[in-house]
Structure 1
Amino acid sequence: MKKPLRAAAASIFGLVFIMSPIANLHAAELKVLAGGSLTGPLNELGPPFERATGHKLTIHFDSTPNLIKLATSDAPFDLGVVPVDVFKDAAAKARFASGPTINIARVGYGVAMRAGAPKLDVSTPDALKKTLLDAQSIAFLPASAAGAYVSSVFERLGIGEAMKAKTKPQTATGDIAKAVAKGDAELGVFLINVLMAPGVEIAGPFPTELQNDLVFTSAVAADTKEAEAAKAFIAYLKTPAAAAVIKAKGMEPG
Protein backbone atom coordinates (compact mmCIF):
# COMPACT_ATOMS: atom_id res chain seq x y z
CA MET A 1 0.00 0.00 0.00
CA LYS A 2 1.31 3.44 -0.89
CA LYS A 3 2.20 5.79 1.98
CA PRO A 4 -0.68 8.25 1.33
CA LEU A 5 -3.18 5.37 1.43
CA ARG A 6 -1.67 3.99 4.63
CA ALA A 7 -1.76 7.45 6.18
CA ALA A 8 -5.37 7.89 5.11
CA ALA A 9 -6.34 4.59 6.68
CA ALA A 10 -4.69 5.50 9.96
CA SER A 11 -6.02 9.06 10.07
CA ILE A 12 -9.60 8.18 9.15
CA PHE A 13 -9.74 5.33 11.63
CA GLY A 14 -8.07 7.48 14.29
CA LEU A 15 -10.77 10.11 13.81
CA VAL A 16 -13.48 7.50 14.23
CA PHE A 17 -11.99 6.43 17.54
CA ILE A 18 -11.49 9.97 18.84
CA MET A 19 -15.18 10.58 18.26
CA SER A 20 -16.27 7.29 19.85
CA PRO A 21 -16.30 5.95 23.42
CA ILE A 22 -14.60 2.87 21.99
CA ALA A 23 -11.39 4.89 22.15
CA ASN A 24 -11.43 4.51 25.93
CA LEU A 25 -11.49 0.72 25.91
CA HIS A 26 -8.63 -1.22 27.41
CA ALA A 27 -6.18 -2.68 24.92
CA ALA A 28 -7.44 -6.09 23.81
CA GLU A 29 -5.71 -9.03 22.19
CA LEU A 30 -8.02 -10.14 19.41
CA LYS A 31 -7.80 -13.63 17.95
CA VAL A 32 -9.16 -13.49 14.41
CA LEU A 33 -10.11 -16.35 12.11
CA ALA A 34 -9.78 -15.29 8.47
CA GLY A 35 -10.02 -16.73 4.99
CA GLY A 36 -6.62 -17.37 3.44
CA SER A 37 -7.52 -15.22 0.44
CA LEU A 38 -7.76 -12.20 2.75
CA THR A 39 -4.10 -12.42 3.73
CA GLY A 40 -3.04 -9.45 1.60
CA PRO A 41 -5.75 -6.98 2.67
CA LEU A 42 -5.75 -7.86 6.37
CA ASN A 43 -1.96 -7.78 6.62
CA GLU A 44 -2.12 -4.22 5.24
CA LEU A 45 -5.03 -3.14 7.41
CA GLY A 46 -3.97 -4.71 10.70
CA PRO A 47 -1.09 -2.38 11.65
CA PRO A 48 -3.07 0.89 11.26
CA PHE A 49 -5.85 -0.58 13.40
CA GLU A 50 -3.35 -1.61 16.08
CA ARG A 51 -1.68 1.80 16.09
CA ALA A 52 -4.97 3.67 16.30
CA THR A 53 -6.49 1.57 19.08
CA GLY A 54 -3.75 -0.13 21.03
CA HIS A 55 -5.44 -3.47 20.36
CA LYS A 56 -3.32 -6.40 19.20
CA LEU A 57 -4.41 -8.68 16.35
CA THR A 58 -3.47 -12.32 15.99
CA ILE A 59 -4.90 -13.46 12.66
CA HIS A 60 -5.08 -17.12 11.67
CA PHE A 61 -5.52 -17.44 7.90
CA ASP A 62 -6.84 -20.77 6.62
CA SER A 63 -9.08 -22.62 4.18
CA THR A 64 -12.81 -23.01 4.76
CA PRO A 65 -12.67 -26.65 5.97
CA ASN A 66 -9.92 -25.81 8.46
CA LEU A 67 -11.74 -22.66 9.61
CA ILE A 68 -14.82 -24.76 10.31
CA LYS A 69 -12.69 -27.20 12.32
CA LEU A 70 -11.18 -24.35 14.33
CA ALA A 71 -14.53 -22.66 14.91
CA THR A 72 -16.07 -25.89 16.18
CA SER A 73 -13.11 -26.83 18.37
CA ASP A 74 -12.46 -25.61 21.89
CA ALA A 75 -9.87 -23.11 20.65
CA PRO A 76 -10.84 -19.56 21.68
CA PHE A 77 -11.30 -16.78 19.13
CA ASP A 78 -12.91 -13.35 19.14
CA LEU A 79 -14.20 -12.83 15.61
CA GLY A 80 -14.15 -14.22 12.12
CA VAL A 81 -13.69 -12.66 8.69
CA VAL A 82 -14.36 -15.78 6.69
CA PRO A 83 -15.97 -17.19 3.55
CA VAL A 84 -19.77 -17.33 3.86
CA ASP A 85 -19.48 -21.10 3.52
CA VAL A 86 -18.25 -21.27 7.12
CA PHE A 87 -21.69 -20.11 8.25
CA LYS A 88 -23.37 -22.86 6.24
CA ASP A 89 -22.02 -25.28 8.84
CA ALA A 90 -24.52 -25.24 11.72
CA ALA A 91 -21.96 -26.05 14.42
CA ALA A 92 -19.59 -23.32 13.20
CA LYS A 93 -22.39 -20.78 12.92
CA ALA A 94 -23.38 -21.51 16.52
CA ARG A 95 -19.95 -20.29 17.71
CA PHE A 96 -20.76 -16.77 16.50
CA ALA A 97 -23.12 -14.19 17.97
CA SER A 98 -26.65 -14.39 16.62
CA GLY A 99 -27.84 -11.91 14.04
CA PRO A 100 -26.78 -10.99 10.52
CA THR A 101 -23.16 -11.12 9.50
CA ILE A 102 -21.40 -8.12 7.93
CA ASN A 103 -19.93 -8.62 4.47
CA ILE A 104 -16.39 -7.29 4.06
CA ALA A 105 -15.18 -8.28 0.59
CA ARG A 106 -15.95 -10.36 -2.48
CA VAL A 107 -13.92 -11.62 -5.41
CA GLY A 108 -14.42 -13.68 -8.56
CA TYR A 109 -12.38 -16.42 -10.20
CA GLY A 110 -9.80 -16.36 -12.96
CA VAL A 111 -6.85 -18.02 -14.63
CA ALA A 112 -3.19 -17.08 -14.24
CA MET A 113 -0.19 -17.96 -16.39
CA ARG A 114 3.53 -17.42 -16.05
CA ALA A 115 4.63 -13.86 -16.85
CA GLY A 116 5.70 -13.54 -20.48
CA ALA A 117 3.88 -16.67 -21.66
CA PRO A 118 1.68 -16.40 -24.77
CA LYS A 119 -1.68 -14.83 -23.96
CA LEU A 120 -4.45 -17.35 -23.39
CA ASP A 121 -8.15 -17.09 -24.22
CA VAL A 122 -10.56 -17.75 -21.35
CA SER A 123 -13.27 -15.34 -22.50
CA THR A 124 -15.98 -17.93 -23.23
CA PRO A 125 -16.83 -21.33 -21.72
CA ASP A 126 -15.53 -23.09 -24.84
CA ALA A 127 -12.31 -21.04 -24.82
CA LEU A 128 -11.75 -21.72 -21.13
CA LYS A 129 -12.38 -25.42 -21.67
CA LYS A 130 -9.83 -25.57 -24.50
CA THR A 131 -7.23 -23.62 -22.51
CA LEU A 132 -7.61 -25.95 -19.52
CA LEU A 133 -7.46 -29.08 -21.65
CA ASP A 134 -4.37 -27.81 -23.50
CA ALA A 135 -2.52 -27.07 -20.25
CA GLN A 136 -0.04 -29.63 -18.96
CA SER A 137 -0.68 -28.84 -15.29
CA ILE A 138 -2.96 -26.67 -13.16
CA ALA A 139 -2.41 -25.39 -9.63
CA PHE A 140 -5.23 -24.61 -7.20
CA LEU A 141 -6.28 -25.36 -3.64
CA PRO A 142 -8.91 -28.12 -3.82
CA ALA A 143 -9.48 -28.25 -0.04
CA SER A 144 -11.20 -24.86 0.18
CA ALA A 145 -14.52 -23.22 -0.64
CA ALA A 146 -12.93 -21.58 -3.68
CA GLY A 147 -11.34 -24.86 -4.71
CA ALA A 148 -14.70 -26.60 -4.50
CA TYR A 149 -16.14 -24.01 -6.85
CA VAL A 150 -13.26 -24.41 -9.29
CA SER A 151 -13.85 -28.17 -9.30
CA SER A 152 -17.56 -27.58 -9.94
CA VAL A 153 -16.68 -25.46 -12.98
CA PHE A 154 -14.51 -28.27 -14.31
CA GLU A 155 -17.50 -30.58 -13.97
CA ARG A 156 -19.83 -28.10 -15.69
CA LEU A 157 -17.38 -27.94 -18.58
CA GLY A 158 -17.36 -31.74 -18.76
CA ILE A 159 -13.64 -32.01 -18.01
CA GLY A 160 -13.66 -33.04 -14.36
CA GLU A 161 -11.87 -36.33 -14.91
CA ALA A 162 -9.34 -34.82 -17.30
CA MET A 163 -8.45 -32.12 -14.76
CA LYS A 164 -7.73 -34.64 -11.99
CA ALA A 165 -4.70 -35.87 -13.92
CA LYS A 166 -3.44 -32.31 -14.45
CA THR A 167 -4.03 -30.94 -10.96
CA LYS A 168 -1.09 -29.82 -8.82
CA PRO A 169 -2.81 -29.43 -5.43
CA GLN A 170 -1.46 -26.65 -3.21
CA THR A 171 -1.74 -26.42 0.55
CA ALA A 172 -1.95 -22.62 0.91
CA THR A 173 -3.46 -19.90 -1.25
CA GLY A 174 -0.14 -18.10 -1.64
CA ASP A 175 1.45 -21.23 -3.10
CA ILE A 176 -0.76 -21.21 -6.21
CA ALA A 177 0.84 -18.21 -7.91
CA LYS A 178 4.29 -19.29 -6.72
CA ALA A 179 3.87 -22.68 -8.42
CA VAL A 180 3.00 -20.93 -11.69
CA ALA A 181 5.83 -18.41 -11.39
CA LYS A 182 8.38 -21.19 -10.77
CA GLY A 183 7.07 -23.29 -13.64
CA ASP A 184 5.85 -26.08 -11.37
CA ALA A 185 2.39 -25.59 -12.88
CA GLU A 186 1.44 -24.13 -16.24
CA LEU A 187 -1.74 -22.44 -14.99
CA GLY A 188 -3.22 -21.26 -11.73
CA VAL A 189 -7.01 -21.33 -11.37
CA PHE A 190 -8.47 -19.66 -8.32
CA LEU A 191 -9.72 -16.37 -6.87
CA ILE A 192 -8.31 -13.50 -8.93
CA ASN A 193 -6.81 -11.58 -6.02
CA VAL A 194 -4.81 -14.66 -4.95
CA LEU A 195 -3.42 -14.99 -8.48
CA MET A 196 -2.15 -11.39 -8.53
CA ALA A 197 1.50 -11.95 -7.64
CA PRO A 198 5.03 -11.43 -8.96
CA GLY A 199 6.01 -13.67 -11.85
CA VAL A 200 2.47 -14.35 -13.08
CA GLU A 201 -0.07 -12.64 -15.30
CA ILE A 202 -3.85 -12.88 -15.22
CA ALA A 203 -5.06 -14.50 -18.45
CA GLY A 204 -8.54 -13.34 -17.57
CA PRO A 205 -11.54 -13.88 -15.32
CA PHE A 206 -13.91 -16.77 -15.77
CA PRO A 207 -16.51 -16.02 -18.47
CA THR A 208 -19.74 -14.51 -17.18
CA GLU A 209 -21.66 -17.77 -17.54
CA LEU A 210 -19.26 -19.47 -15.10
CA GLN A 211 -18.34 -16.57 -12.84
CA ASN A 212 -19.27 -16.41 -9.19
CA ASP A 213 -18.18 -14.17 -6.33
CA LEU A 214 -16.87 -15.68 -3.12
CA VAL A 215 -18.08 -13.45 -0.29
CA PHE A 216 -16.09 -12.95 2.91
CA THR A 217 -18.29 -12.01 5.83
CA SER A 218 -17.65 -11.16 9.48
CA ALA A 219 -19.13 -11.76 12.90
CA VAL A 220 -18.12 -11.61 16.55
CA ALA A 221 -17.62 -14.86 18.45
CA ALA A 222 -20.50 -15.70 20.76
CA ASP A 223 -18.30 -16.23 23.82
CA THR A 224 -15.65 -13.56 23.33
CA LYS A 225 -14.75 -11.32 26.25
CA GLU A 226 -13.62 -8.65 23.80
CA ALA A 227 -16.87 -8.06 21.91
CA GLU A 228 -16.52 -4.27 21.69
CA ALA A 229 -12.97 -4.43 20.36
CA ALA A 230 -14.01 -7.14 17.88
CA LYS A 231 -16.90 -4.97 16.69
CA ALA A 232 -14.48 -2.07 16.34
CA PHE A 233 -12.25 -4.08 14.01
CA ILE A 234 -15.23 -5.06 11.88
CA ALA A 235 -16.33 -1.41 11.76
CA TYR A 236 -12.82 -0.45 10.66
CA LEU A 237 -12.99 -2.95 7.79
CA LYS A 238 -16.07 -1.08 6.54
CA THR A 239 -14.40 2.36 6.43
CA PRO A 240 -13.66 4.04 3.07
CA ALA A 241 -9.92 3.76 3.71
CA ALA A 242 -10.19 0.02 4.33
CA ALA A 243 -12.35 -0.35 1.23
CA ALA A 244 -9.61 1.33 -0.81
CA VAL A 245 -7.04 -1.22 0.41
CA ILE A 246 -9.39 -4.13 -0.30
CA LYS A 247 -9.95 -2.84 -3.83
CA ALA A 248 -6.23 -2.30 -4.40
CA LYS A 249 -5.68 -5.95 -3.47
CA GLY A 250 -7.95 -7.16 -6.27
CA MET A 251 -11.20 -7.57 -4.34
CA GLU A 252 -14.46 -5.66 -4.17
CA PRO A 253 -15.51 -4.20 -0.80
CA GLY A 254 -18.73 -5.42 0.79
Structure 2
Amino acid sequence: MFDLLSLLRSLMVAIAVMIGMICNVGAEQINVITSGAFSVAFKQLVPIFEQKTGHQVNMFFGASMGSAPDSIPTRLGRGEAFDVLILAGPALAIFIDQGVVLDGTRVDLANSTIGAVVRKGAPKPDISTVDALRNTLLQAKSIAYSASASGTYLSAEVFPKLGIADQLKDTARKIYSERVATVVARGDAELGFQQLSELFSIEGVDFIGELPPQVQQTIPFSAGIVKQTQKRQIAQELIGFFASEEAAPIIRKTGMHPLMQKMPW
Protein backbone atom coordinates (compact mmCIF):
# COMPACT_ATOMS: atom_id res chain seq x y z
CA MET A 1 0.00 0.00 0.00
CA PHE A 2 2.84 2.36 0.91
CA ASP A 3 4.55 1.77 -2.44
CA LEU A 4 1.28 2.33 -4.30
CA LEU A 5 0.70 5.64 -2.50
CA SER A 6 4.25 6.73 -3.25
CA LEU A 7 3.76 5.83 -6.91
CA LEU A 8 0.52 7.83 -7.06
CA ARG A 9 2.18 10.84 -5.48
CA SER A 10 5.03 10.65 -7.98
CA LEU A 11 2.58 10.43 -10.86
CA MET A 12 0.66 13.45 -9.58
CA VAL A 13 3.86 15.49 -9.30
CA ALA A 14 4.90 14.46 -12.82
CA ILE A 15 1.47 15.41 -14.19
CA ALA A 16 1.61 18.80 -12.45
CA VAL A 17 5.05 19.49 -13.92
CA MET A 18 3.82 18.52 -17.40
CA ILE A 19 0.78 20.79 -17.08
CA GLY A 20 3.01 23.66 -16.00
CA MET A 21 5.29 23.06 -18.98
CA ILE A 22 2.33 22.99 -21.36
CA CYS A 23 0.87 26.20 -19.93
CA ASN A 24 4.22 27.95 -20.35
CA VAL A 25 4.83 26.87 -23.92
CA GLY A 26 5.74 30.00 -25.87
CA ALA A 27 6.14 32.11 -22.73
CA GLU A 28 9.30 34.21 -22.86
CA GLN A 29 11.00 37.13 -21.16
CA ILE A 30 11.36 40.55 -22.72
CA ASN A 31 13.43 43.53 -21.54
CA VAL A 32 11.66 46.89 -21.74
CA ILE A 33 12.96 50.27 -20.59
CA THR A 34 10.76 53.36 -20.24
CA SER A 35 11.38 56.95 -19.31
CA GLY A 36 9.62 58.64 -16.43
CA ALA A 37 6.46 60.08 -17.98
CA PHE A 38 5.13 56.69 -19.06
CA SER A 39 6.50 54.74 -16.09
CA VAL A 40 3.43 55.03 -13.83
CA ALA A 41 1.12 53.62 -16.51
CA PHE A 42 3.80 51.08 -17.45
CA LYS A 43 3.93 49.60 -13.96
CA GLN A 44 0.16 49.13 -13.95
CA LEU A 45 -0.10 47.76 -17.49
CA VAL A 46 2.72 45.21 -17.37
CA PRO A 47 1.02 42.81 -14.90
CA ILE A 48 -2.10 42.81 -17.09
CA PHE A 49 -0.04 41.99 -20.19
CA GLU A 50 1.81 39.23 -18.32
CA GLN A 51 -1.44 37.67 -17.15
CA LYS A 52 -2.95 37.82 -20.64
CA THR A 53 0.05 36.37 -22.48
CA GLY A 54 2.12 34.40 -19.96
CA HIS A 55 5.22 36.36 -21.00
CA GLN A 56 7.43 38.03 -18.40
CA VAL A 57 8.38 41.69 -18.79
CA ASN A 58 11.62 42.75 -17.14
CA MET A 59 11.08 46.45 -16.34
CA PHE A 60 13.82 49.08 -16.47
CA PHE A 61 13.63 52.86 -16.05
CA GLY A 62 15.70 55.83 -17.18
CA ALA A 63 15.50 59.38 -18.55
CA SER A 64 14.76 59.85 -22.25
CA MET A 65 17.88 61.91 -22.78
CA GLY A 66 20.91 63.26 -20.98
CA SER A 67 24.10 61.75 -19.58
CA ALA A 68 22.92 60.53 -16.17
CA PRO A 69 24.24 57.02 -15.38
CA ASP A 70 20.74 55.54 -15.61
CA SER A 71 19.51 57.51 -18.64
CA ILE A 72 18.44 55.47 -21.65
CA PRO A 73 21.19 56.85 -23.94
CA THR A 74 23.84 56.10 -21.32
CA ARG A 75 22.58 52.56 -20.69
CA LEU A 76 22.44 51.78 -24.40
CA GLY A 77 25.89 53.30 -24.80
CA ARG A 78 27.40 50.90 -22.30
CA GLY A 79 25.84 47.91 -24.03
CA GLU A 80 22.76 47.13 -21.93
CA ALA A 81 20.37 45.01 -24.00
CA PHE A 82 16.68 45.88 -24.35
CA ASP A 83 13.96 44.68 -26.69
CA VAL A 84 11.64 47.70 -26.52
CA LEU A 85 12.26 51.37 -25.75
CA ILE A 86 9.48 53.68 -24.52
CA LEU A 87 10.49 57.31 -24.29
CA ALA A 88 9.86 60.82 -25.59
CA GLY A 89 9.11 60.71 -29.31
CA PRO A 90 11.90 63.10 -30.36
CA ALA A 91 14.45 61.03 -28.44
CA LEU A 92 13.15 57.80 -30.00
CA ALA A 93 13.47 59.41 -33.44
CA ILE A 94 17.19 59.89 -32.78
CA PHE A 95 17.60 56.20 -31.98
CA ILE A 96 15.78 55.33 -35.20
CA ASP A 97 18.11 57.61 -37.18
CA GLN A 98 21.10 55.98 -35.47
CA GLY A 99 19.87 52.50 -36.39
CA VAL A 100 19.40 51.45 -32.76
CA VAL A 101 15.62 51.12 -33.18
CA LEU A 102 14.04 49.46 -36.21
CA ASP A 103 12.59 51.94 -38.68
CA GLY A 104 8.86 51.44 -39.09
CA THR A 105 8.28 50.22 -35.52
CA ARG A 106 7.58 53.56 -33.82
CA VAL A 107 4.15 53.77 -32.19
CA ASP A 108 3.08 56.93 -30.34
CA LEU A 109 1.34 55.69 -27.18
CA ALA A 110 0.30 58.87 -25.38
CA ASN A 111 0.73 62.63 -25.25
CA SER A 112 2.12 64.33 -22.17
CA THR A 113 2.04 67.97 -21.08
CA ILE A 114 4.11 69.91 -18.54
CA GLY A 115 2.87 71.21 -15.22
CA ALA A 116 4.16 72.46 -11.88
CA VAL A 117 3.92 71.62 -8.17
CA VAL A 118 4.75 73.16 -4.81
CA ARG A 119 5.22 71.45 -1.47
CA LYS A 120 1.93 70.34 0.08
CA GLY A 121 0.33 73.21 1.99
CA ALA A 122 2.59 75.89 0.49
CA PRO A 123 1.08 78.96 -1.22
CA LYS A 124 0.15 78.23 -4.85
CA PRO A 125 1.66 80.79 -7.21
CA ASP A 126 -0.03 81.71 -10.49
CA ILE A 127 1.31 80.23 -13.75
CA SER A 128 -1.92 80.52 -15.76
CA THR A 129 -0.59 83.17 -18.16
CA VAL A 130 2.81 83.88 -19.68
CA ASP A 131 3.26 87.01 -17.55
CA ALA A 132 2.18 85.19 -14.39
CA LEU A 133 4.59 82.33 -15.15
CA ARG A 134 7.46 84.77 -15.68
CA ASN A 135 6.75 86.55 -12.39
CA THR A 136 6.42 83.27 -10.49
CA LEU A 137 9.73 81.98 -11.87
CA LEU A 138 11.53 85.21 -10.98
CA GLN A 139 10.12 85.26 -7.44
CA ALA A 140 10.84 81.60 -6.66
CA LYS A 141 13.86 81.05 -4.43
CA SER A 142 14.52 77.60 -5.92
CA ILE A 143 13.21 75.81 -9.00
CA ALA A 144 13.60 72.17 -9.98
CA TYR A 145 13.10 70.78 -13.47
CA SER A 146 13.67 67.44 -15.17
CA ALA A 147 16.95 66.34 -16.75
CA SER A 148 14.90 64.71 -19.49
CA ALA A 149 12.68 65.98 -22.31
CA SER A 150 10.49 68.47 -20.41
CA GLY A 151 13.43 70.02 -18.57
CA THR A 152 15.47 70.38 -21.74
CA TYR A 153 12.54 72.18 -23.32
CA LEU A 154 12.18 74.52 -20.33
CA SER A 155 15.84 75.45 -20.06
CA ALA A 156 16.57 75.66 -23.79
CA GLU A 157 13.34 77.26 -25.03
CA VAL A 158 10.91 78.54 -22.39
CA PHE A 159 13.33 80.37 -20.09
CA PRO A 160 15.05 82.17 -23.01
CA LYS A 161 11.68 82.92 -24.64
CA LEU A 162 10.55 84.57 -21.39
CA GLY A 163 13.80 86.55 -21.32
CA ILE A 164 14.79 85.29 -17.86
CA ALA A 165 17.36 82.56 -18.56
CA ASP A 166 20.22 84.56 -17.01
CA GLN A 167 18.18 85.46 -13.92
CA LEU A 168 17.39 81.78 -13.28
CA LYS A 169 20.97 80.51 -13.43
CA ASP A 170 21.30 80.61 -9.64
CA THR A 171 17.80 79.46 -8.70
CA ALA A 172 16.84 76.81 -11.29
CA ARG A 173 18.53 73.41 -11.38
CA LYS A 174 18.22 70.21 -13.33
CA ILE A 175 17.26 67.06 -11.40
CA TYR A 176 18.99 63.80 -12.32
CA SER A 177 17.76 60.25 -11.57
CA GLU A 178 14.89 61.42 -9.36
CA ARG A 179 11.38 62.75 -9.75
CA VAL A 180 11.13 66.53 -9.55
CA ALA A 181 8.08 66.27 -7.28
CA THR A 182 10.08 64.18 -4.81
CA VAL A 183 12.62 67.01 -4.52
CA VAL A 184 9.83 69.53 -3.93
CA ALA A 185 8.03 67.27 -1.44
CA ARG A 186 11.05 67.10 0.86
CA GLY A 187 11.60 70.87 0.67
CA ASP A 188 14.71 70.97 -1.51
CA ALA A 189 12.97 73.13 -4.12
CA GLU A 190 10.15 75.64 -3.84
CA LEU A 191 8.76 75.03 -7.32
CA GLY A 192 9.00 72.00 -9.62
CA PHE A 193 8.21 71.38 -13.30
CA GLN A 194 7.77 68.06 -15.07
CA GLN A 195 5.29 66.03 -17.14
CA LEU A 196 1.94 65.68 -15.38
CA SER A 197 2.15 61.90 -15.13
CA GLU A 198 5.38 62.20 -13.17
CA LEU A 199 3.98 64.86 -10.84
CA PHE A 200 0.65 63.18 -10.07
CA SER A 201 2.23 59.99 -8.74
CA ILE A 202 4.16 61.69 -5.91
CA GLU A 203 2.67 62.44 -2.49
CA GLY A 204 3.58 65.52 -0.50
CA VAL A 205 3.03 68.09 -3.26
CA ASP A 206 0.16 70.24 -4.53
CA PHE A 207 -0.42 70.63 -8.24
CA ILE A 208 -0.70 74.28 -9.31
CA GLY A 209 -1.46 73.90 -13.02
CA GLU A 210 -0.11 73.34 -16.51
CA LEU A 211 2.08 75.73 -18.46
CA PRO A 212 0.04 78.33 -20.38
CA PRO A 213 -0.76 77.32 -23.97
CA GLN A 214 1.67 79.84 -25.50
CA VAL A 215 4.65 78.03 -23.95
CA GLN A 216 3.23 74.54 -23.43
CA GLN A 217 4.82 71.56 -25.09
CA THR A 218 2.86 68.42 -25.85
CA ILE A 219 5.31 65.53 -26.00
CA PRO A 220 4.38 62.18 -27.52
CA PHE A 221 5.74 59.19 -25.64
CA SER A 222 6.52 56.47 -28.11
CA ALA A 223 7.55 52.84 -28.26
CA GLY A 224 10.00 51.27 -30.67
CA ILE A 225 11.58 47.85 -31.17
CA VAL A 226 15.35 47.58 -30.75
CA LYS A 227 17.12 46.39 -33.89
CA GLN A 228 19.10 43.65 -32.14
CA THR A 229 16.11 42.01 -30.45
CA GLN A 230 15.36 38.32 -30.86
CA LYS A 231 11.86 38.88 -29.45
CA ARG A 232 10.23 40.96 -32.18
CA GLN A 233 6.88 39.16 -32.11
CA ILE A 234 6.51 39.59 -28.34
CA ALA A 235 7.64 43.20 -28.66
CA GLN A 236 4.87 43.79 -31.17
CA GLU A 237 2.32 42.16 -28.85
CA LEU A 238 3.43 44.36 -25.97
CA ILE A 239 3.33 47.61 -27.94
CA GLY A 240 -0.04 46.64 -29.43
CA PHE A 241 -1.44 46.12 -25.94
CA PHE A 242 -0.11 49.48 -24.68
CA ALA A 243 -1.77 51.19 -27.66
CA SER A 244 -5.10 49.39 -27.20
CA GLU A 245 -8.46 50.61 -25.94
CA GLU A 246 -8.01 48.28 -22.96
CA ALA A 247 -4.91 50.15 -21.84
CA ALA A 248 -6.32 53.64 -22.51
CA PRO A 249 -8.19 54.18 -19.20
CA ILE A 250 -5.07 53.39 -17.16
CA ILE A 251 -2.93 55.71 -19.26
CA ARG A 252 -5.52 58.47 -18.94
CA LYS A 253 -5.76 58.01 -15.16
CA THR A 254 -2.02 58.56 -14.79
CA GLY A 255 -2.15 62.02 -16.40
CA MET A 256 -1.47 61.24 -20.05
CA HIS A 257 -3.65 61.31 -23.17
CA PRO A 258 -3.80 57.88 -24.90
CA LEU A 259 -3.52 57.95 -28.70
CA MET A 260 -4.53 54.37 -29.59
CA GLN A 261 -2.70 54.33 -32.92
CA LYS A 262 -2.91 51.50 -35.40
CA MET A 263 0.10 49.22 -35.50
CA PRO A 264 2.55 49.77 -38.39
CA TRP A 265 3.19 46.07 -38.89
- With the shorter chain as reference, the TM-score category is 0.7 to 0.9
8 Å CA contact 2:114–2:193 kept in 1: the answer is: yes
Q: Which residue of 1 aligns with 2:28?
A: 28
Q: Is the counterpart of residue 68 in structure 1 residue 73 in structure 2?
A: yes
Structure 1 residues 84-233: aligned runs within 5 Å: 84-89=89-94, 93-99=98-104, 101-141=106-146, 143-151=147-155, 152-174=157-179, 176-196=180-200, 197-233=202-238
Give CA deviations for 1:227-254 in whole Å, capped at 9, x if unaligned: 1111100011012221111110011112
Larger radius of gyration: 2
CA separation of 1:249 and 1:91: change in aligned 2, threshold 3 A: closer
Query: Matched residues in 1 for 2:112 and 2:254: separation?
Result: 10
- SS of the equivalent of 1:162 reads coil
8 Å CA contact 1:243–1:253 kept in 2: the answer is: yes
How far has the Cα of 1:123 moved from its partner?
0.9
RMSD: 2.0
TM (norm. structure 1) is: 0.84
- SS of the equivalent of 2:60 reads strand
Q: Which residue of 2 aligns with 1:4?
A: none
- Structure 1: 4+ residue segments shifted above 4 A: 90-93
Q: How many residues align?
A: 230
Query: Matched residues in 2 for 1:133 and 1:162: separation?
Result: 7
How far has the Cα of 1:24 moved from its partner?
9.0
8 Å CA contact 1:67–1:86 kept in 2: the answer is: no
Query: Matched residues in 2 for 1:198 and 1:81: separation?
Result: 25
8 Å CA contact 2:143–2:173 kept in 1: the answer is: yes
Gaps of 5+ in 2: 1-22, 66-70, 260-265
Query: Matched residues in 2 for 1:48 and 1:88: separation?
Result: 28
Gaps of 5+ in 1: 1-22
- SS of the equivalent of 2:247 reads helix
8 Å CA contact 2:24–2:54 kept in 1: the answer is: no
